[in-house]
Amino acid sequence: MTVLELSGVARHYREGDGRLDILIGADLTLAAGETVALIAPSGAGKSTLLHIAGLLERADDGEVLIAGLATSDMSDNERTSLRRSTIGFVYQFHHLLPEFTALENVALPQAINGLDRREAERRAAELLDYLRLGARARHLPSQLSGGEQQRVAIARAVANAPHVLLADEPTGNLDPRTAEHVFATLMTLARNTGLAALVATHNLDLAAQMDRRVTLSDGRLVELA
């Protein structure tokens, strides 16, 4: 089942009197449970692509379909609602709320989505246990290691059971051993739950462990061997 499809996606920005084309007819399909690595140099448009795929930014042309739903003509409120229920995000820096515990950071997105607080915290505790962070649930981010913080960020990203996980250099700020552990956690989660994952990374060793690899070339997505 295809859960994310980009069809002819284009994005450009004004640069003085000219135009800078970032994406030109980018196409991509992502199936449930599939993991895809996005490998490209800095400035190639990886973050722009992820923002468009995640409905954080609108394309200038083309279509983004989430679970078969076309999104280009949706209102901002409709896009926000769809994003909250179907897409999770993980970034290079964890962006955890420093005044809240790990448990509260994971429960918060569920509460925002309308879940009762007690139920949100119960589900958050289960998720942290699954990611082997149960003993750290009541700790503040400042009391967690870098790898633990990033695993909490992954838990937060999947708290609302999204169909798609979009990750922008999720291990880029970690040492190699911790990066491997965090990456393994992410891959296990995707394969055990049917979550589709599109991960931008410079780490070729980690990318090699994913189902497919793509790159950006002259604004288009190209499959890699």
- For residue 145, report the phi and psi dihedrals to the nearest 5 degrees: -75, 170
Count of residues in the chain: 225
Report pTM. Answer: 0.87
**Which DSSP symbol is given to 172?**
T
Per-residue confidence (pLDDT) for residue 60, from 0 to 100: 93
Assess contact for 211 and 36: CB atoms under 8 A: yes
Per-residue confidence (pLDDT) for residue 159, from 0 to 100: 87
Assess contact for 11 and 220: CB atoms under 8 A: no
Per-residue confidence (pLDDT) for residue 32, from 0 to 100: 92
Per-residue confidence (pLDDT) for residue 97, from 0 to 100: 92
Tokens at residue 147, please? Answer: 């790898």
**In the chain, helix, strand, coil percent, each to 5?**
35, 30, 35
| Tens digits of pLDDT across the chain (225 residues) | 899 999 999 999 887 777 888 999 899 999 999 999 999 887 788 889 999 999 999 999 999 999 899 999 999 999 998 998 899 998 877 789 999 999 999 999 888 878 888 889 999 998 898 888 899 999 999 999 988 998 899 889 888 888 999 998 888 777 888 888 878 888 888 888 888 999 998 888 889 989 999 999 888 999 997
| 11 vs 125: CA distance, rounded Å | 40
